[in-house]
Amino acid sequence: MQTRVKLRKSETFWEVNLVAPERKPPTFDFQVFSELGEALDEIESAVERCEEGSPRCVFIKSSSDRCFCAGANIDILNTLSEKTMADWVATGHQALSRLEDLPIPVVASVRGYALGGGLELALACDLIVCDRTAKLGLTEANIGFVPGWGGSYRLPRRVGASRAKRMFYSAEIVEADSALSIGLVDEVVDGSELTGWLEGFSKSASSKSVVGIRGFKSILNEQDRASREASLLAETEYSLKCIKNADTKRRIREFLEKRKS
């Protein structure tokens, strides 16, 4: 059983849901990225047509109350090598850059853990709103990796370079209120109010100028595009260095053995 991507449509917003197997956290593998790509195809096509019923904003959600997304599927770690790493990193880069570049507002709705690639997924959204169970962190240093899906570019733009370094060096997991205080998330609400917040945001955004919102987002994204692409290339380069490293291989092996026990 693996995570699936389900697209749910309503009058003003569409939801991209990561649906995990029972009692498992949502994770990414190549199939999940493929399904996310198909959802983005449909969203992009609908937005381009700008017809009645086209989404005015997109929400990224999880079926799990305990985990928004835990990053890479454990089975992927078993297959990563010098030959496969570049393709794996590029696949994540492509998907999250497409998500970030959607010309409408994109909001991550976070409950529970958003770790590693899961936080990178949230960071690719325009806004991050979470409930009080949220715990967020780039924890790749625990197993010997750099952020592989744009975290090195997006995290410091939210919290500043010094705080991003501190978080990554210590693999710090930040709870909801602390995340709000440092700018990592944009809103913290009680769990029962999360759906209402999203619906309220969608109602507000859908009443505003489509061309104005698209133009503003495009201007902001274009300002940093060259920097983003340079950071993604550097992530690929350093991911390859990591996978060749003996300490990384040891950490992966110990992590997999711990998960089996």
pLDDT over threshold 90, residue 2 = no
Which of 15, 35, 100, 120 is catalytic? The answer is: 120
Query: Is 100 a known active-site residue?
Result: no
- Flag the least confident range among 47-61, 154-168, 186-200: 47-61
Identify the pLDDT of residue 251: 94
d(C-alpha 59, C-alpha 131), whole Å: 15
Kindly report the pTM of this predicted structure. 0.96
> Cα Rg for the chain, rounded, in angstroms?
18
Tokens of 194: 């999360």
* Single-letter amino acid code for the residue at 67: C
Amino acid at the residue 66 = R
Alpha-carbon span 112 to 23, nearest angstrom:
13
* CATH level 2 (architecture), domain 4-191: Alpha-Beta Complex (3.90)
Residue 1: per-residue pLDDT: 64
Active-site position among 15, 35, 140, 235 = 140
- Residue 38 annotated among the catalytic residues of the structure: no
Question: Where exactly are the structural domains of the chain?
Answer: 4-191
> Mean per-residue pLDDT for 176-188?
98
CA distance linking residue 110 with residue 176, whole number of Å? 10
Q: Which residue has the tokens 């999880």?
A: 62
Encode 195-224: b = buried (16+ Cβ within 10 Å), e = exposed.
eebbeebbeebbeeeeeebbeebeeebeee
Between 258 and 87, residue with greater pLDDT: 87
Higher per-residue confidence, 137 vs 12: 137
Mean pLDDT of 121-127: 98
Burial 65-104 (b: 16+ CB within 10 A, else e): eebbbbbbbeebbeebeeeebeebbbbbbebbbbbbbbbb
Q: How confident is the model at residue 218 (pLDDT cuts 50, 70, 90)?
A: very high
Asked if residue 197 has pLDDT above 70, the reply is yes
- 77, pLDDT greater than 90: no
Q: Tell me what pLDDT residue 229 has.
A: 96
Give the model confidence (pLDDT) of 18-67 as tens digits: 999 888 999 999 999 999 999 999 999 999 987 777 899 999 999 999 99
pLDDT at 32: 97
Which tokens in the block code for residue 124? 């690719």
Percentage, residues of the chain above pLDDT 90: 88
